[in-house]
Amino acid sequence: MSPIPVEMCLPGDEITDVLVRPGDHYYQWMSGIVTTQTPDGPRNELQLWAVDGNETHVILSDPMPAAGRGLSGGVHAWQKGGDQILVVTKTDGIVLIEMNGCDADSVTSLPFDRTRSWSTPCMNYMNDTVYAVADWKELWSCDLRTQEMTLEHDGSTFVMDAIAGAGGMCVAWDAPHMPWTESTVFPEKVQEGVAVQQPRFSTNGFCFGYIDDVHGVNNLHILGDEIIADDVVLLDDCEHGGPTWGPGQRTWCFNSDGTRVAYTRNEGGFSSLWVYDRATTSRHRIGQGVHGCVSWENETLAAIRTGARTPPQVVTYNVSNLLQPERTITRTVADPRWTQDEFDDELVEPTVHRAPGAEVSVPYRLYRPHSPNGLLIVWVHGGPNDQWQVTFRPRLTYWLSRGYAISVVDHRGTTGHGRQFLMALEGHWGDMDATDTLQVIRHVQTTQGFLPESTVLMGGSAGGLTALNCIVKDESLVAGAVLQYPVVDLAEILRGDDPFETPYMPTLIGATGPDDPVVAQRSPHMHGAAFVNTALLVFHGDSDHSVPLVHSQRLREAVVTAGGQMQLEVMAGEGHGFKNPANVTAEYRITEDFLNRLFTA
């Protein structure tokens, strides 16, 4: 077995926004956005692939399509017959592509304002009107016959994920809420204490459904129609969708005629893909792994699939026989070395655990290396309303291949465990999340035999705040912490100008304003003395607008003033998340040097 080289962990090419091409004779083709890393920066293309993977066509590269996001999309959409495509571009607004077989015949710019950021274009059932969302603020339509633009909705603080019904529809919510705390499908009114996501129609336009948490868990809700008269909620103790951090999430879909739906289940961070037959009410498990960009036409069910041992891959399932679906790997852009036997043993599936406590039992996943070195990393996800599902994470594999065990914590506020667990963090950010993480640390150390002097915390952004506050609460449980762009000064966060997150911060923290005593209590830089005996390594981009560099600078000043030390590495040109391969390589090298010094001292 060999340690994973850092080159395999650098940002690589990516596939997002995958769709099956609709139409009776087109469903053996799939489209998606491919992002390729080049010396001049990432380049995006809209590509078309045969399901068997033997043929590829580049549909659009100039103007460059917008980029997708992870397992989501919102960049392109097919007309229901499969002869036209709507594409959001980086420079030309939204374009309409007329297809000639498997190639683009013409590309026409539609009159969407090129200075704005557009997402989730869609075409109505009559193929005469296009809907899209501008800047997460407004829902617009374009009449393809007259080229007339119409503002359909701007009465909510935020809108996302346009769909075309009798008129324009979209997910909408008002500050200070977030889309996962309280939202609706415009034009419906908001239902207090209910969040809605992923509304969509079947390709034939007759069937409609969405995900909501009205029963306490994000479950699929299908409205009655000509196929089945009554509404159906797929009541489940597993979440069917994740938090709406951006446009185009697709964890469920109808088949072409709406008689069946495909949906995903979040099973303690693991996931699986299922099909529900609306006529028979039968449910069939189709595949294991985290699936996104789920799309279904005819008998071809497609998705981007990933797992702890599976780099992201575009897969299709032939579901003509639901008892024996046939899976085909259509496309992948992963470094081919990940499939070599030399590194196979370093790809580790975690086990799911719970750390019992007086207030709550805290879920976590434990990754055990094949050649343990006796050291433990406790990793805290960002958000804080998010979750690290069991997807392909080279960053984890890098440390597993060097012998570190890794515990990934789902503290209160983490998604994937139901509304009550998610909402429990409101008013307590910087407190309960740290308490829960300490609970996990103690449980792992007690049950797995790790010592405080062999334990290190890691986390970025909100996860950095949680890690730092763990040390403030109990510095005796860890030897050090490695953090990326951590939230440090909650008063600075409350004074921020991010339109998406800033309005929610008083609710999440439980503060009336920057001068509220709770803000200083939970801001790590106000507790510099707590870090004097703990080794700290912090990375921060000098172009980070979400969590500005001043957060880490204030932490370093507080630690040094108290007589401690903190290594701050400023990453030139980086924002909230590092992308430059040279900087990412340096981050791994510096971190490894830091840990080697920490654990050999």
In which element (H, E) is residue 109 found? strand 103-109
pLDDT for residue 474 is more than 80: yes
Q: Is 326 exposed, middle or buried (0-12, 13-18, 19+ CB in 10 A)?
A: exposed
Average model confidence (pLDDT) for the chain? Answer: 95
Task: Please choose, from the candidates 169, 180, 265, 273, the residue with its C-alpha nearest in 3D space to the C-alpha of residue 219.
Answer: 265
- The CA–CA distances, whole Å, from 549 to 172, 285, 557 equal 32, 46, 13
State how far the Cα of 533 lies from the Cα of 476, in Å rounded to an integer. Answer: 9
Query: Buried b / exposed e across 133-151, counting CB within 10 Å, b at 16+?
Result: bbebbbbbbbebeeeeeee
Give the strand order in the sheet containing 283-288: 252-254, 260-267, 270-277, 283-288
What does each C-alpha distance from 584 to 265, 335, 572, 578 come to in angstroms? 33, 17, 11, 6
- The pTM score is 0.95
Read off the DSSP letter of residue 258.
S
Residue 13's H or E segment, with its range, is none
499 upstream amide cis, omega within 30 of 0: no
Mean predicted confidence (pLDDT) in 108-112: 98
Helices (H) and strands (E) counted in the chain, each on its own, are 10, 35
- The phi and psi torsions of 126 (rounded to 5 degrees) equal -85, -5
User: In the chain, what are the helix, strand and coil shares in percent, each to the nearest 5?
Assistant: 20, 35, 45
User: pLDDT band at residue 24, thresholds of 50, 70 and 90?
Assistant: confident
Question: How many other C-beta atoms lie within 10 A of the C-beta of residue 552?
Answer: 29
Which residues, listed in sequence order, are joined to residue 362 by a DSSP beta bridge? 355
Q: How confident is the model at residue 131 (pLDDT cuts 50, 70, 90)?
A: very high
pLDDT of 204 > 90? The answer is: no
Single-letter residue type at 335: D
Residue 205: band (very low, low, confident or very high) from pLDDT cuts 50, 70, 90? confident
pLDDT of 263 above 80: yes
Structure confidence at residue 601 (pLDDT): 65
Distances (CA, A) of 134 to 279, 413, 501: 38, 29, 18
DSSP class of 239: B
pLDDT at 19: 97
pLDDT of residue 1: 59
pLDDT digits (tens, 9 = 90+) for 141-199: 999 999 999 999 999 999 999 999 878 999 999 999 999 999 999 999 999 999 999 99
pLDDT band with cut points at 50, 70 and 90 for residue 388: very high
Grade residue 69 by pLDDT with cuts at 50, 70 and 90: confident
DSSP line for 357-423:
-SS-PEEEEEE--SS--S-EEEEE-SSSS----S---HHHHHHHTTT-EEEEE--TT-SSS-HHHHH
How far is it, in rounded angstroms, from Cα 392 to Cα 334? 10
In this prediction, residue 542 carries a pLDDT of 97
Decide if 530 contacts 472 (C-beta within 8 A): yes
Q: Encoding tokens for residue 508?
A: 């999440």
181: left (phi over 0), alpha (psi -120 to 50) or beta: alpha
